[in-house]
Amino acid sequence: MDFSIKPASGYSVPNLVEVLNRGFEGYFVPITFNVTAFLNMIRKDGLDLTSSRVLLTDEGPVGIALIARRGWTSRLAAMGIATEMRGKGGGSWFMQQLIQEACDRGEREMVLEVIEQNTSAVHLYEKCGFEAIRRLIGLIRKDATEIQTNELKQIDIREMGRLIMRYEMPNLPWQLSGESMVQMNPPARAYQNGPAYAIISNPDVKDVVIWSLLVEPDARGKGLGADMLKAIVANHTGKTWHIPALLPEELGKVYERAGFEREDLSQWQMRLVLE
């Protein structure tokens, strides 16, 4: 079968969302995109529609790859192939085109995250030369309550984003990096409790995401991270708290000490060095 590609920038946002949803039909976990969510991805994750690509056959669009770019690094933020085109070589062909274009742009690496249990996708990326950096996990705490012991100070999200860039571990997953965090806006909130900080999604709804937790290096090892999580729960009782499956596995213990339970779904954070 003959495939071709075109820049995503040549399509309207609603059309891109339609192709994206077709590409994720019957996916390993249910995923549905809408225009608002797509526009938020563009802003927060640095999607570059001029480098993103739509996969075509003679019958029209059958897939999409969203590319985010920062400096000499690009990220495959999402790739989906329509159900009727799967297993026909389109995914492998598409990936080779994307990798070659990243090389042509002079980039030095390409990164992505893939669900660990989605073995066919993992094998595709491994075949293209990607190697796993670390396992990423998700956690949850349902209908949580705590006795309030700390008064939290709300701060500008950009301030915490700068601290993440300064203090956090290298090669954080793209969505958890300081560069991504500074793109978040209210109703998301950032809190400080002494040398501990956190960013959460809108706390006025039932399900809330904790996007980031940071303790300044000199204050680590004293339980301040778990205390910060408990203080957040105490200030917003009765919520269900989610840690997306983007958290480096080695950071999970602090959440477990605060009553969070690990979920079954995990991801591989992967990297391809470009020549």
What domains can you pick out in the chain, each with its CATH number?
A: 4-107 (3.40.630.30), 138-268 (3.40.630.30)
Query: Model-level pTM?
Result: 0.95
Give the integer Cα–Cα distance in Å for 112 and 125: 9
Query: How is 36-76 classified by DSSP, letter by letter?
Result: HHHHHHHHHHTB-TTT-EEEEETTEEEEEEEEEEETTEEEE
Give the integer Cα–Cα distance in Å for 87 and 95: 14
**Could you tell me which of 97, 118, 110, 101 has the C-alpha nearest to residue 24?**
118
Residue 146's pLDDT is: 86
- What pLDDT, in 10s, does the model give residues 78-132? 999 999 988 899 999 999 999 999 999 999 999 999 999 999 999 999 999 999 9
Task: Give the mean pLDDT of the chain.
Answer: 95
Phi-psi region of 117 (alpha: psi -120 to 50; beta: other; left: phi over 0): alpha
Mean pLDDT of 208-219: 97
- CA atoms within a 13 Å half-sphere pointing along the CA-CB vector of 45: 23
Amino acid at 183: Q
Question: Roughly what angle, to the nearest 10 degrees, separates helices 119-127 and 90-104?
Answer: 40
**Which residues touch 244 (CB under 8 Å, ≥6 apart)?**
138, 175, 209, 211
Mean pLDDT of 222-244: 94
Phi-psi region of 164 (alpha: psi -120 to 50; beta: other; left: phi over 0): alpha
Residue 169's pLDDT is: 86
Enter the tokens of residue 158.
Answer: 């950009």
